[in-house]
């Protein structure tokens, strides 16, 4: 057994319902077989376990492993394409890079860069938009299995309006998806997610094929995009036509909403869509740097909360500008500040919740990870800035624990992540 001693901060209960940050400057966690078995003040835990190894995490803050609910495998090498709205950015930046994953050797390198990027940013669980090529997705799963990260992913399927080399048929999409799910769904910490790119690039027949995979593979997840950009929404409504109420209805009519469904963005929802998201338990992955970078808009968080929609955070690399959920938390805060009068005033507790526990709940991992309570796996991040750095100075001068966590979100980067554990095993 090992005792981890340091400044520990987490959010076991929802700050949106008034729960406070849980933080203690000199706390200790006793970990056995990767699971937290005792938690308390350092004095108490150390006195109870005098013979155990102690890992002293002096300086910095220990937080739960972060949970990214929307991030694209093939885009790790294409971050930073600024100055384009969604559909232009897809054509000129994202899709040319995605096409390169047809080459298995290239895809192998991308999977390595991608998983390294997650771990170095302190992300221990993620719902990953895979590639359009089953070889690349197979490679991701194989490397994710070896890495120890908790990864849910799947083959991205489309049959129109992208580029010919990224299109497939509903029959082939079904067959390849079921085969990948057979190999990897439920294997170790891996799960399969049915992943049509978005309604714009999928015909009704393709959504039928997706529905069939969801029916045929027990416990499979579903993910896609929703209501990101006005031109995208207009095109989806034209393509699907009068038989569909709105963008969300494209997924709903094909049986694709529910508590294991996660849709990214929803920057421009209708009231009907919000009600339907809440009624089905579908999770919205809020991706704030992506929304800002592509000029998609400011996320109406207040309307989602009022409607009772489940929310989590996503980096959306590479429309998002990096893997760090500390940065996404800060950008979520900025966006709400800019929504004068209708934004949600986010505190440090909200940001930590969105980056950790909300994501764990959104991905159905709430019993295992997301906070550092007794009984949870020791998935944790030690943010320990370099001596003399501005973050180190600011942590030393924080007025209280919530202030220290706010400073962590204001200044923290992947360069400040000193160690990451999944179920007690160090990743860095
Ligand atoms: Zn995305």
List, as own/partner pairs, every contact residues 94-97 make where C-beta atoms lie below 8 angstroms and the sequence separation is at least 24, other chains included.
94/318, 94/319, 95/162, 95/163, 95/166, 97/318
* Residue ranges of domains in the chain: 2-64+370-426, 66-338
> Do 11 and 371 contact (CB within 8 A), yes or no?
yes
Please determine, for residue 83, whether its predicted confidence score (pLDDT) is greater than 90.
Answer: no
Among 124, 74, 67, 127, CA closest to 262: 127
% of the chain exceeding 90 in pLDDT: 98
Residue of 109, 60, 68 lying closest to 322 (CA atoms):
68
Q: How far is the CA of 41 from the centre of ligand 1 (A)?
A: 41
Closest to 371 measured CA to CA, from 188, 381, 16: 381
CA of 71 to the centre of ligand 1 (A): 6
| pLDDT given for residue 57 in this prediction | 97
Centre of ligand 1 from the C-alpha of residue 280, in Å? 21
Q: How confident is the model at residue 250 (pLDDT cuts 50, 70, 90)?
A: very high
Query: Where is 48: in which H helix or E strand?
Result: helix 42-48
Render pLDDT for 140-183 as a digit per residue (tens, 0 to 9): 999 999 999 999 999 999 999 999 999 999 999 999 999 999 99
Give the pLDDT mean for 202-229. 98
Quote the distance between the C-alpha of residue 138 and its chain's center.
20
Using a 10 angstrom Cβ sphere, with 0-12 exposed, 13-18 middle and 19 or more buried, the burial of residue 226 is buried
Determine the distance separating the centroid of ligand 1 and the alpha carbon of 265, expressed in angstroms.
8
CA of 129 to the centre of ligand 1 (A): 7
| CA 70 / ligand 1 centre spacing (Å) | 6
Contacts of residue 125, Cβ cutoff 8 Å, sequence gap at least 6: 65, 66, 67, 68, 149, 150, 151, 359, 360, 363, 365, 369, 379
| Gap from CA of 319 to ligand 1 centroid (Å) | 7
| Cα–Cα distance, 255 to 214 (Å, whole number) | 9
Given a cut of 90, whether residue 357 has pLDDT beyond it is yes
Distances (CA, A) of 33 to 2, 57, 62: 9, 20, 19
Degrees to nearest 5, angle at CA 359 with 54 and 21: 60
- pLDDT of residue 251 exceeding 90, the answer is yes
Instruction: Tell whether the model's pLDDT for residue 111 goes beyond 90.
Output: yes
How far separated are the first and last CA of the chain, in Å rounded? Answer: 20
Q: Is the pLDDT of residue 264 over 90?
A: yes
Of the candidates 132, 133, 152, 156, the residue with the CA atom closest to the CA atom of residue 141:
152
Kindly state the average pLDDT of the residues 8-17: 98
Q: Ligand 1: distance of its center to the CA of 207 in Å? A: 18
Tell me the pLDDT band of 262, cut-offs 50, 70 and 90: very high
The structure tokens listed for 229 are: 């950009």
CA of 130 to the centre of ligand 1 (A): 11
Rounded Cα–Cα distance for residues 81 and 73 (Å): 16
Measure 320 CA to ligand 1 centroid, in angstroms: 8
Using alpha carbons only, give the angle 184, 200, 255 rounded to the nearest 5 degrees.
55
CA of 396 to the centre of ligand 1 (A): 37
Ligand 1 geometric centre to CA of 269 (Å) = 17
66-338 is a CATH 3.20.20.140 domain: yes
Q: Does the structure show a pLDDT above 90 at 81?
A: no
Quote the ligand 1 centre to 201 CA distance (angstroms): 13
76 CA from centroid of ligand 1 (Å): 12
Ligand 1 midpoint to CA 189 (Å): 22
Compute the distance from residue 323 Cα to the ligand 1 centre, in Å.
Answer: 13
CATH superfamily of 2-64+370-426: Urease, subunit C, domain 1 (2.30.40.10)
Task: Report CA(225)–ligand 1 centroid distance (Å).
Answer: 6
Q: Say what the pLDDT of residue 148 is.
A: 97
Ligand 1 centroid to Cα of residue 345, in Å, is 25
CA–CA dist 263, 197 (Å, integer): 11
Q: Which residues surround ligand 1, an ion (CB under 5 A)?
A: 264, 316
In contact, 289 and 68? CB cutoff 8 Å: no
Length of the chain: 428
User: What b/e sequence results for 157-190 when a residue is b if at least 16 CB atoms lie within 10 Å of its CB, and e otherwise?
Assistant: bbbebbeeebbbebeebbebbbebbeebbeeebb
Please report the DSSP string for 254-315 in residue order.
TT--STTEEEEE-SS--HHHHHHHHHHTPEEEE-HHHHHHTT-----HHHHHHHT-EEEE--
Residue 169's region, left for phi above 0, alpha for psi from -120 to 50, else beta, is: beta
Q: How far is CA 73 from CA 115, 148, 188, 243, 315, in A?
A: 9, 17, 20, 34, 12
Rounded-to-integer distance, Cα 421 and Cα 353, Å? 19
- Distance in Å, CA 108 to ligand 1 centroid: 21
Residue 306 has pLDDT above 90, yes or no: yes
Measured in Å, residue 85 CA sits from the centre of ligand 1 at: 13
């Amino acid at each position: 057994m090992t005792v981890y001693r340091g400044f520990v901060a987490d959010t076991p209960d929802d700050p949106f319902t008034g729960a406070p940050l849980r933080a203690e400057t000199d706390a200790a966690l006793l970990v056995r077989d990767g699971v937290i078995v005792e938690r308390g003040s350092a004095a108490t835990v150390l006195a109870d376990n005098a013979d155990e190894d102690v890992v002293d995490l002096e300086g910095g803050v220990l937080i739960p492993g972060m949970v990214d609910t929307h991030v694209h495998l093939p885009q790790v090498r294409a971050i930073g394409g600024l100055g384009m709205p969604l559909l232009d950015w897809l054509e000129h930046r994202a899709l040319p890079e995605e096409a390169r994953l047809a080459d298995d050797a290239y895809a192998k390198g991308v999977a390595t860069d991608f998983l390294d990027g997650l771990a170095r940013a302190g992300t221990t669980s993620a719902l990953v938009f895979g590639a359009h090529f089953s070889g690349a997705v197979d490679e991701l799963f194989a490397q994710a299995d070896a890495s120890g990260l908790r990864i849910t992913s799947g083959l991205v399927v489309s049959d129109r309006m992208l580029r010919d080399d990224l299109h497939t048929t509903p029959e082939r999409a079904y067959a390849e998806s079921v085969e990948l799910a057979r190999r990897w769904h439920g294997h170790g910490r891996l799960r399969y997610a049915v992943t049509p790119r978005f309604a714009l690039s999928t015909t009704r027949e393709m959504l039928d094929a997706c529905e069939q995979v969801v029916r045929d593979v027990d416990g499979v997840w579903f993910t896609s995009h929703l209501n990101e950009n006005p031109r995208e929404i207009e095109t989806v409504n034209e393509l699907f036509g009068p038989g569909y109420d709105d963008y969300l209805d494209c997924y709903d009519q094909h049986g694709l909403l529910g508590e294991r469904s996660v849709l990214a963005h929803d920057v421009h929802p209708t009231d009907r869509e919000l009600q339907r998201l809440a009624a089905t338990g579908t999770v919205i992955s809020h991706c704030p740097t992506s929304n800002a970078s592509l000029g998609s808009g400011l996320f109406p968080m207040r309307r989602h909360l009022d409607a009772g929609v489940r929310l989590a955070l996503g980096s959306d690399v590479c429309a998002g500008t990096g893997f760090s959920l500390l940065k996404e938390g800060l950008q979520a805060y900025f966006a709400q500040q800019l929504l004068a009068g209708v934004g949600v005033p986010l505190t440090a507790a909200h940001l930590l919740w969105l980056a950790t526990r909300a994501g764990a709940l959104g991905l159905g991992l709430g019993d295992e990870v997301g906070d550092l309570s007794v009984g949870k796996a020791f998935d944790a991040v030690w943010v320990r800035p370099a001596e003399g750095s501005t973050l180190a100075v600011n942590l030393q001068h924080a007025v209280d624990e919530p202030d220290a966590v706010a400073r962590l979100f204001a200044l923290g980067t992947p360069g400040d992540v000193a160690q990451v554990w999944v179920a007690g095993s160090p990743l860095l």
